[in-house]
Structure formats: C-alpha cells, structure tokens
Amino acid sequence: DAGVTQSPTHLIKTRGQQVTLRCSPKSGHDTVSWYQQALGQGPQFIFQYYEEEERQRGNFPDRFSGHQYPNYSSELNVNALLLGDSALYLCASSLEFGGQGRSAKNIQYFGAGTRLSVL
C-alpha cells in the first residue's frame, strides 16, 4: 500500500516564476492538506482540499493556490515566486469522514516533501 507520494523531490526556480507541486494521497484517503516548512521551523498550514474544494486556508497570500482532482490527488501552485518561498512543501492525506462521520481522530499521513529553492 503506497503512502503519500510527492513530486518532484527537489526543485529550483528563480524569482517571479511559477511552480506546481504534486501530491498523491495514501490509498483510501479523500482529503489533502498542504504545509510549508521553512528551515528550522515547524510546518505551517497552507490549505486543505476535500471533495475538490478548498475547505480551510491558513495565512497565505493568493499567490498560493491549489486543486484536487476526482482521484483525490492534489496540486499546489505558487505564482510570482519570492525568495522567501524557499522551503520544504509537505502534503498530508487523511480520510475526512473515517467511515463513521466527521471526526478529529482521523490521522494525517505526510509525504516526504518537495524541497523548493528560489534563487
């Protein structure tokens, strides 16, 4: 059973460019969340997708956008890249309803991340 997979593993871009990161959730999971982790800090929540809609959003500008496909995979897009966007971008998947209704006890599983460097 494949876990959460992210691609690419590393990426180098220049300021002003646009980037797309991809995530395939763990088998059976329907919810994908994205996080940004700067060096030496804890992950910061960007947004969460469920049923192809953005359900929650953290304190990130509109340059950060996403998409979820019918097969539950997801993309994170960042436009007009800034040097400060350099970070590890993490994807986490979970089963939103857990088969017994919405519950906070649904575990999020993380991918290995995409390391983005903006030059």
Partner 1 sequence: DAKTTQPPSMDCAEGRAANLPCNHSTISGNEYVYWYRQIHSQGPQYIIHGLKNNETNEMASLIITEDRKSSTLILPHATLRDTAVYYCIVRGLNTGGFKTIFGAGTRLFVKA
Binding residues for partner 1, rule: CB under 8 A, are: 4, 31, 33, 35, 41-45, 48, 50, 55-56, 58, 88, 90, 92, 94, 96, 102-113, 115
As a whole number of angstroms, the distance between CA 76 and CA 21 comes to 5
As a whole number of angstroms, the distance between CA 101 and CA 113 comes to 29
Least distance (Å) from partner 1 to the CB of residue 80? 25
48 secondary structure, DSSP code? E
Closer to partner 1 by Cβ: residue 22 or 115: 115
Closer to partner 1 by Cβ: residue 43 or 66: 43
Least distance (Å) from partner 1 to the CB of residue 43? 5
Contact 111, 44 (CB under 8 A): no
Residue 71 CB contacts under 8 Å (≥ 6 apart), including other chains? none
Least distance (Å) from partner 1 to the CB of residue 36? 11
